Amino acid sequence: MKDIARDLDVSVVTVSKVLRDHPDIGKATKERVLQRVKELNYTPNLMARGLVTGRTSLVAFIVPDLASSFFSEVAIHLSNELRAHGYFMLICWTKEDSAIQAKEVQHLLSLGIDAMIIATSGDDISSFKLIESRNVPYVLFDREVPQLKAPFVGVEDLLAGKMATQHLIDIGCKRIAHICGPDMSPGRRRLEGYKSALQQAGLPLKEDLIVTPLEGGPRGIQHGFEATQRLLAVKPRLDGIFAFNDPLAIGAMEAILSAGLRIPQDVALIGCANIPLGRALRIPLSTIDQDTKELGVRTARAALLLLQKTGKTSPARKLVLKPKLIVRQSSERQSKKKAAAK
């Protein structure tokens, strides 16, 4: 910038103004500057600019898990929407580890991003308090933290849990197991939904049919496999499994099949998230759809809203989308023939 100013014999500020389309610059100088800028392939230093203006056009998306495609898909839609409004999105992976998350958040904060979208790992609120103290707007995604009054965009998980479990009940399952997700709002609510559906149907709640993967961290196929092996050892044998997410369900599928049992005849199976590959599995997987596109777009809008109304206090809206049951072969039995699938 200095170079440009020197070359053209104008002040640095003039150059700066040209770059920001400031009204008071002559047409002639403006063109001279712009040309030189092009020649030198100059780009303003965002750190310096950010230092003064406090804005960087960056939004960070903090996710606990990348392997399960749910967050990746949402990221895609988020990114598209934010990009359309002039923001850049960066993804930051926390490995479902709240200590890592705390570090990343701190680092991002001091880097000076404009907003954060967080699917939190752990409900330690100190990180959030830190964000608030820095006046950086943020949106909670997928995972709610009750103590915080930040905007939240997510899915009605209690209902998701109920729907999945109720569906298994509808097709005649009596001994339904649940493989738990991480101990955060979606995991807890889906479990709750599972319990309440059982209760409403007058089925007993067996603690040994509720398992949590031994290993922590993001829930993947191998966790589902391991958990299901333990479940299959419980007698009398279960006849249905509702897994927290699709990867867990896929692991469960492998465990069930390799134990020589049939799906859905011996054990019916349903997951949650509706990953694109669910249809293509050995046994197409029933699941609960969460509409990642809608989630992504709505979350982006929530963030953009915060970014616009700089001063005004935000109403801190809570947006909860309705989940949708998708029945495929893994839970299709004679008794009832619900439509859906695809």
- Residues at the site binding DNA, with contacts judged by CB under 7 A: 1-2, 9-14, 16-17, 19-20, 23-30, 43-45, 48-49, 51-53
DSSP 296-340: HHHHHHHHHHHHH-SSSPP---EEEEPPEEE--GGG--TT-----
Q: Give the residue with the Cβ less far from DNA, 24 or 207.
A: 24
- Residue 140 CB, nearest distance to a copy of itself (Å)? 20
Q: Give the residue with the Cβ less far from a copy of itself, 42 or 175.
A: 42
* Cα 213 to Cα 227: distance, rounded to the nearest angstrom: 5
* Cα 309 to Cα 210: distance, rounded to the nearest angstrom: 45
- Residue 91 CB, nearest distance to a copy of itself (Å)? 4
- Residue 113 CB, nearest distance to DNA (Å)? 15
**Which listed option, DNA, a copy of itself, none, makes contact with residue 144 (CB within 5 to 8 Å by class)?**
none
- Residue 253 CB, nearest distance to a copy of itself (Å)? 6
The residues binding a copy of itself (CB under 8 A) are 41, 43-48, 50-51, 56-58, 60, 66-67, 69, 72-73, 75-76, 79-80, 83, 88-93, 95, 100, 104, 106-107, 109-112, 130, 133, 220-221, 250, 253-254, 276-277, 279-284
N-to-C CA span, the chain? 57
Residue at token pair 């939904």? 193
Rounded to 5 degrees, φ, ψ at 82 are -65, -40
- Residue 58 CB, nearest distance to DNA (Å)? 16
Q: What is the identity of the amino acid at 70?
A: F
CA 58 to chain centre: 18
DSSP run (H or E) holding 294: helix 292-308
| 3-state secondary structure at position 8 | helix
**Which listed option, DNA, a copy of itself, none, makes contact with residue 236 (CB within 5 to 8 Å by class)?**
none
**Which listed option, DNA, a copy of itself, none, makes contact with residue 253 (CB within 5 to 8 Å by class)?**
a copy of itself
**Which listed option, DNA, a copy of itself, none, makes contact with residue 14 (CB within 5 to 8 Å by class)?**
DNA
Other C-beta atoms closer than 10 Å to the C-beta of 289 total 18
* Cα 220 to Cα 213: distance, rounded to the nearest angstrom: 10
Other C-beta atoms closer than 10 Å to the C-beta of 182 total 23
**Which listed option, a copy of itself, DNA, none, makes contact with residue 125 (CB within 5 to 8 Å by class)?**
none
**Which listed option, a copy of itself, DNA, none, makes contact with residue 2 (CB within 5 to 8 Å by class)?**
DNA
Q: Give the residue with the Cβ less far from a copy of itself, 193 or 220.
A: 220
Q: Give the residue with the Cβ less far from DNA, 48 or 233.
A: 48
105: left (phi over 0), alpha (psi -120 to 50) or beta: alpha
